[in-house]
Structure 1
Amino acid sequence: MAFSSCAEREKKQIKSKPNIVFIMSDDHGYQAISAYNDQLIQTPNIDRIAKEGMLFTNASVTNSICAPSRAVILTGKHSHMNGKIDNLSAFDTTNVTFPQLLQKAGYQTAMFGKLHFGNNPKGFDEFKILPGQGSYYNPDFITNKGDTTVVGYVTDIITDLSIDWLDHRRDPEKPFLLMYLHKAPHRAWLPAQRYLQEFAGKTFPLPETLFDDYKRNTTGGVDISPYSLASQSAEMGIKKHMTLVYDNKIYTETLEDLGIKEPYMQSDPTERMNSEQRIAWKKTYDPINQAFKEAYPTMDDSTLTVWKYQRYLQDYLATIASVDENVGRLLDYLDKNQLSENTIVVYTSDQGFYLGEHGWFDKRFMYEESFKTPLLIKWPFKITPGITEDQMVQNLDFAQTFLEIAGVEAPKDMQGKSLVPILTGEDEHWDRDAVYYHYYEYPAEHSVKRHYGVATKEYKLIHFYYDIDQWELYDRINDPNELHNLYYDPAYSDVVEMMTTKLKEVRAKYKDSPENDQRFIESYNQKIENK
């Protein structure tokens, strides 16, 4: 067929470029996806992406906290390079993001759901985003046409908005980028009405390390504390720091009847609900409160910890059930509208999450459950279905991956690597043997110490700094629960030397330094003072 003009040829090329659907949930631990682990929940729709594509078992984040992770994804640069090191300050919009570049290259772009940046996204033809953390029920949205409130459950609404855009405002002559971003399963884990009863009565297996004592330095005869000081001082323990009211949905009047004083994080989860939603809520949580009132007087610390863990998992996993259901809705839409064959679909989370491991909830640490993130990608005719991949990849790599898929040159200052060689079965060209991590938000909620580190497939070296100076080395193959700090063990002196050298190399490669550490300490402390 002859083209009548250069413009027509260019239009044909743009139309044939792959569509991109980027699905991200918030705080979705890989342990709660049945493609990784089927002990807690079945997620058949999310699993579909792996069955039709690739499941990554060694994907990780560069900074395990919400807004900084999103900044890394959009910019393809580490936190110290894009400036978004914490959740406090707004994103620096002088950064160039991959959606801006795709939009400039002819992609139609849309974002729906949770951004959590402190400002609006650039590079999108249309967006509807939650303000800050957003609400599970009847949420407010910020749009490029004004703010609005939508009645319903947030996970359903975000999907409705995404499908509505695909159905009514997508230009079929253009490739598209859809960023479909869920609030769930972020704390405080409010399930949809239809899943309240189903999950409230379930019991889940206890993690091996639920009652971790944080003793790590048990070898080598070195005169140091036997404890991991960073682990010991973190404030994310299910036993001590998970709240009965905010997290476990026990009513304040129940605590008053039992004489329990819990002065922090008092909130009413039903405050945004309408009468129908509130009735369904009470139908589930009234019996839970009554049962707790009867059982509490006989609970010891261990029994209470287990009870809080079960309550946590019931609500957390119920929110994931809604995510999985709605991912299925979107995948079905793509199939029914003949969009799947030319669309790459990515499912991930902004980081991992603790589901009772080491007695914790939340994230932030470079330890495995927080550092490792789920990643499932399907791309028809490019990815062989059903493949499991253990290459070391990070959220740092998404920007360059999407740009290469779209045929757009990546800016020189992006620091990731395109995943296209892995996706297309040419991973012999993939030469990464280590990844870098750096966490900054301290002192802050959950009191996780500042730290940076390097991980290979075999080992992980972490340096905690600022108000402590402690090193930890873990054998990722033989000690997957990370219970034995080998840094002070003479038998591992060669490994310590090798990993220390590798850490220096990745710090230099990604342009991080002690000067950066000090600069961000000073700027963060100033933000805390001004808050």
Structure 2
Amino acid sequence: MKLIFSLILSWLLTTVFAGADDLEDFSSLKDSRPNVIFFLGDDQSRFNHSTYGHPSIPTPVTEAFAKESLVFENAFTGQAICAPSRTMLYTGLYPIRNGCFMNHTQVRPGIETLPTLLGKLGYSVILAGKSHVSPDRSFPWSQRFSPVPKPGASRKWIPLQEIDKFLTNPGDKPFCLIVASEFPHAPFMEKTSFSPEEVVLPPYAKQSEAAKKEATHYYANVEQKELEFSALLELLDKHKQSEDSLVLYADDHGLERGKFTSYDSGLKVAFMARWPGRITPGRTKALVSFADFVPTVIELAGGTPEGFDGKSLLPIFSGQNARHHDYVYGVTVNQGTLGRHVFPQRSIHDGRFHYIHNFNTLEKLSRDKEAGKEFNFFLQKGAARYPRHREEMLFDTQTDPHELTNIANNPEYVKIKDDLKAKLFRWMKEQNDYLSADGPIPFLETKERFTLDKFDERNPIPPQYRGSLKGQKINPHSATQAR
């Protein structure tokens, strides 16, 4: 008996002290105040990276960077479109909560953002490259370096000269440098060195020769982004920032069957973190979110992150935790875009199962018709764009990573679906979402050129519906204001 007790006591002491060592490692990252450099690509799906398994995409720079980094297998943005994704990254809040849940719209008044939050902790916060967040007063960058023209490129490049100048004399403060590329976003390069035979398209894409030929020009844009990232890494080496700085790589969201949707091809992103001597290179399946970035850098800077939708990644960086979030969420709002229509989606992901709820489908409108509800042209028009979409979609991303088979109606998965659905609608209520399970789908106020009832070549609506929504649109911020 004494021997058994002694062995148990020895095991307990070993466990406690091992935990203490782990905690010490984690604590050592807090208030370490490193320089932070974050490179952000534009319109590149996680699936379009050799690091994540693509056989032919030209991503040698990110692949080499990944070998020196902690690579996140399950990283997500909250909305697959430029402004909402970036705003989420810079606020630590999901799009509905921060107010920017349509493209080309502003954050809610009073929302504090990365430059303000880190500025209070003594950091300089610089944006170099693409912005696509507004209003300017809500994003008071310490310095702002605009993209620059580059001969032969289809888009402007990151401002390497300005970055070089800054790194030569960054000042006495630690800094957070956001380097936001415009690549591989369209327009694509006219000249390409790639051939259609090299192209490998995802299984949900058209496998035509024309599609592969178009993809060669997308590959050329990916190559431009890789050249930019390589040039940035060289500058970090030149200015001796590579060894002591936390360097992050991510893309804002996916493109094909990704942008403007809630599929993994839109929301699931490449995300990598390199910090020599502090982060052990490898791969993690921890479920993480763009909302985690702000809490992470606040904790690195010595602050206490409070009130965010995300939480600090330092326990993941240190290896103390293997898990992070239980769930991440997705938002899709197609009002306020060039292809303006009404097809809102919300989603929840547990790292394996992904549940998507489509609020305006032909299936739902058919039920409404049977119930005697009045026909609405704009709802019908939006639903008709997605004739194969069911109201509920569930995917097992472990066995079906490209989300080709909807198992929502499979009796074997009913419990999983119902549980995820309940948690999704609970989260929506917490976020003050303007949508609910059985409520109406409102029409949102947008900029004039994105108005649903405005006629133009992109929106050829019949005469009787032009201007017909006057007085029926609601203010997005008012509709989602905390109550």
> TM-score over 0.5 for the alignment?
yes
Select which of 58, 78, 81 maps to 2:94: 78
**1:529: how far off?**
5.9
Match of 2:404 in 1: 483
Select which of 94, 100, 105 maps to 1:89: 105
Q: Classify 1:119/1:504 alpha carbon distance in 2 versus 1 (closer, same or farther; 3 Å).
A: closer
Select which of 296, 299, 315 maps to 1:401: 296
Question: Which SS does the other structure have where 1:102 is aligned?
Answer: helix
Match of 2:160 in 1: 159
**1:365: how far off?**
1.4
User: Counterpart of 2:179 in structure 1: which amino acid?
Assistant: Y
Select which of 55, 58, 63 maps to 1:39: 55
| Aligned mates of 2:179, 2:319 — CA distance in 1 | 27
Q: Classify 1:89/1:322 alpha carbon distance in 2 versus 1 (closer, same or farther; 3 Å).
A: same
**1:93: how far off?**
5.3
CA deviation digits over 1:347-381, x for unaligned, max 9? 11111222xxxxx4x51211121121110111122
So what's the TM-score if we normalise by structure 2? Answer: 0.74
Match of 1:333 in 2: 235
Q: Classify 1:448/1:313 alpha carbon distance in 2 versus 1 (closer, same or farther; 3 Å).
A: farther
Matched, 1:210 2:205: yes
Q: How does 1:311-390 map to 2 (within 5 A)?
A: 311-354=213-256, 360=257, 363-385=259-281, 387-390=282-285
Contact 1:158 1:181 in 2 (8 A): no
Q: Classify 1:44/1:520 alpha carbon distance in 2 versus 1 (closer, same or farther; 3 Å).
A: same
Q: Classify 1:15/1:495 alpha carbon distance in 2 versus 1 (closer, same or farther; 3 Å).
A: closer
Match of 1:170 in 2: 170
**1:335: how far off?**
2.1
| Aligned mates of 1:47, 1:155 — CA distance in 2 | 24
User: Counterpart of 1:335 in structure 2: which amino acid?
Assistant: D
Question: What is the alpha-carbon root mean square deviation over aligned residues?
Answer: 3.1
Q: Classify 1:201/1:526 alpha carbon distance in 2 versus 1 (closer, same or farther; 3 Å).
A: closer
For CA contacts below 8 A with separation 6 or more, give which structure has more relative contact order.
1
CA deviation digits over 1:96-123, x for unaligned, max 9? 0122121222112211111112543623
| Aligned mates of 1:473, 1:442 — CA distance in 2 | 24
CA deviation digits over 1:4-47, x for unaligned, max 9? xxxxxxxxxx9962001011011111222221124122323222
Q: How does 1:259-278 map to 2 (within 5 A)?
A: none
CA deviation digits over 1:370-410, x for unaligned, max 9? 1211101111222102x111111111111111111111222
| Aligned mates of 2:203, 2:232 — CA distance in 1 | 36
| Aligned mates of 1:182, 1:516 — CA distance in 2 | 38
**1:494: how far off?**
2.0
Select which of 139, 142, 145 maps to 1:122: 139
Matched, 1:414 2:311: no
User: Counterpart of 1:420 in structure 2: which amino acid?
Assistant: L
Matched, 1:438 2:437: no
Question: Which SS does the other structure have where 2:277 is aligned?
Answer: coil
Matched, 1:506 2:427: yes
User: Counterpart of 2:353 in structure 1: which amino acid?
Assistant: Y
Q: Classify 1:176/1:517 alpha carbon distance in 2 versus 1 (closer, same or farther; 3 Å).
A: farther
| Aligned mates of 1:465, 1:65 — CA distance in 2 | 19
Identity of aligned residues (%): 26
**1:208: how far off?**
2.7
| Aligned mates of 2:342, 2:268 — CA distance in 1 | 17
Match of 1:270 in 2: none
**Most deviating of 48-57 and 466-475:** 466-475
Contact 1:103 1:123 in 2 (8 A): no
Matched, 1:199 2:194: yes
Q: Classify 1:77/1:315 alpha carbon distance in 2 versus 1 (closer, same or farther; 3 Å).
A: same
**1:510: how far off?**
4.2
Question: Which SS does the other structure have where 1:390 is aligned?
Answer: strand
* Matched residues, number: 395
**1:511: how far off?**
4.7
Contact 1:90 1:118 in 2 (8 A): yes
Contact 2:260 2:333 in 1 (8 A): no
**Most deviating of 440-449 and 108-117:** 440-449
User: Counterpart of 1:124 in structure 2: which amino acid?
Assistant: W
User: Counterpart of 2:194 in structure 1: which amino acid?
Assistant: F
| Aligned mates of 2:334, 2:300 — CA distance in 1 | 34
**1:480: how far off?**
2.2
Match of 2:211 in 1: 309
Question: Which SS does the other structure have where 1:492 is aligned?
Answer: helix
Q: Classify 1:406/1:352 alpha carbon distance in 2 versus 1 (closer, same or farther; 3 Å).
A: same
Structure 1: gaps (5+ residues):
1-13, 139-150, 212-304, 355-359
Contact 1:202 1:314 in 2 (8 A): no
Contact 1:24 1:181 in 2 (8 A): yes
**1:207: how far off?**
3.1
So what's the TM-score if we normalise by structure 1? Answer: 0.68
**1:76: how far off?**
0.7
Contact 2:158 2:180 in 1 (8 A): no
**1:68: how far off?**
0.7
Structure 2: gaps (5+ residues):
1-29, 365-390, 455-483
Q: Classify 1:40/1:31 alpha carbon distance in 2 versus 1 (closer, same or farther; 3 Å).
A: farther
| Aligned mates of 1:164, 1:373 — CA distance in 2 | 31
